[in-house]
Amino acid sequence: LTKDRYNVKRGEYSLLTDGHMAFFMNLLGQNRVINDPSECESYNIDWIKNVRGQSRCILKPRTTEEVSKILEFCNENKLAVCPQGGNTGLVGGSVPVFDEIVISTALMNQIESIDEISGVIVCQAGCILENIDQQIGEKGLMVPLDLGAKGSCHIGGNVSTNAGGLRLLRYGNLHGSVLGVEAVKANGEILDCLSTLKKDNTGYHLKHLFIGSEGSLGVVTKVAIQCPTKPKAINMAFLGVESFDSVLTTFRRCKNELGEILSSFELIDALSLDVVTGHYKMQSPIPQFPFYILIETHGSCNEHDEEKLNRFLESAMGDGVVLDGTATNQPSKMKQLWELRESITQGLLMDGYVFKYDLSIPIKEFYAIVDVMNEKIGKDAVRICGYGHIGDSNIHLNLSFKEYSKEMHNKIEPFVYEYTSSLKGSVSAEHGIGFRKSKYVHYSKSPAAINLMQDIKRMMDPNKILNPYKVLPESS
């Protein structure tokens, strides 16, 4: 259990009674209140199986009004809650630490409107990312966000974590593309900031409080998102290079030569690719190299894009910056290339226990942390590898071991955060703080910033019922 491994003390919240359960059953009906221990299990364990809570009450509202009534009741009765979307979060934020009531958005899965001209869609928080993309795809639009967990994660979870993903380089982050948010405050009040306007400077931009606050300030119930037009032409390349310097040179040239069509630039190191060629027996289209680069372009004219990409490849390979590579625009081949990249996260779990770090590091020093950790930990690990969104200076550093050990944990943390901080990086680039990183926020935020965040939390959730033990360090 999380509370034992991490030595946390339960807050002074009420214990769930039959009277509380009767209220929830009355509100939602029996089918939407789960209390059977075996059914509760999957809501208590996170995706990477790092943390486990012990909630015996999972609530599945369908509407904003139901969420509002649940929160009003929980606030009055001092019952702690944990909002949960697809439960694909990687920092232990989506599952309870103790017996918090889980508010699952799984049944809040309706797309309410799609404006084909402006590209603005409005949907409930529990819509699965991939489902939205498919539905709006039929109307020539795409979601400006894509990630390996797209088949399970919910848009409300994406907004609450300010998820980045594979194409942030091109389409920007959710603070830009989310136009409006509807959320329910801790006291049950519904906050309608569901603007569908691109420009709306009427006072404070309150929606931003809910983008990336990981369920600590309210439950997101609906979102309005600006969606771009689906590209008519998609091309990809998979390249092998000899050194990290060559990766940087390739990136620079890519930006210069592919310019406006570049939609993704991802790095995979040799040991990361080994995860999927080893555990899943996937085939790499090129022989072994120390580093691989995955490039994708989105454009409106295939002839033009293909020519640009081929010209870029010819020159980069001609100069010896890129040693080998393959380019394609066949959907099945592109899918295979994406699978190589997207399956790494899951495949790593087959090594045993994985310490995962999602760091923003200034691009020149981006990869050095893998070497530093190799020097520090060396042979004790099954694997120390790095991959990620290099186009956004975001590395996923992973250290896998046969099993969890406290000793190794102490050897890695807080060192990895100190190191990142010394480079003026961020200890959480896109996954959030959740439970596992709350005591490390100070490595990336000043005391004044943390105080202000704590003031905002106190103001919006005075009884601290929303996702306790997460995001912020305990205030004094």
| Structure tokens given for 176 | 């830009």
One residue of 119, 144, 164, 386 binding ligand FAD per CB under 6 A: 164
- Note whether 356 binds ligand FAD by CB under 6 A: no
The one-character DSSP state at 151 is T
403-442 binders of ligand FAD (CB under 6 A): 430-431, 434
- Note whether 163 binds ligand FAD by CB under 6 A: yes
Q: What is the 3-state secondary structure (H, E, C) of 421-474?
A: HHCCCECCCCCCCCCCCHHHHHHCCCHHHHHHHHHHHHHHCCCCCECCCCCCCC
CA distance 106 to 91: 20
One residue of 119, 156, 347, 468 binding ligand FAD per CB under 6 A: 156
* Shortest spacing between CB 352 and ligand FAD, in angstroms: 17
Residue partners of 362: CB distance under 8 A and separation at least 6: 393, 423, 424, 425
* Shortest spacing between CB 42 and ligand FAD, in angstroms: 12
One residue of 77, 249, 346, 454 binding ligand FAD per CB under 6 A: 346
* Shortest spacing between CB 141 and ligand FAD, in angstroms: 20
One residue of 53, 86, 212, 240 binding ligand FAD per CB under 6 A: 86
One residue of 2, 44, 87, 235 binding ligand FAD per CB under 6 A: 87
Report the residue closest to ligand FAD, judged by CB.
157
The one-character DSSP state at 16 is P
β-strands 233-241, 219-226 pairing = unpaired
Q: Is 279 helix (H, G, I), strand (E, B) or coil?
A: helix
- Considering beta carbons, is residue 61 or 299 the nearer one to ligand FAD? 61
- Considering beta carbons, is residue 47 or 367 the nearer one to ligand FAD? 47
Tokens 């930990």 found at: 377
- Note whether 81 binds ligand FAD by CB under 6 A: no
Give the C-alpha distances (Å, rounded to integers) separating 56 from 15, 43, 44, 320, 364: 11, 10, 9, 60, 48
The one-character DSSP state at 35 is -
- Note whether 148 binds ligand FAD by CB under 6 A: yes
One residue of 53, 61, 85, 212 binding ligand FAD per CB under 6 A: 85
Q: Footprint of ligand FAD on this chain (CB under 6 A)?
A: 47, 82-90, 93-94, 105, 125, 147-149, 153-154, 156-158, 160-161, 163-166, 214-215, 219-220, 345-346, 430-431, 434, 467
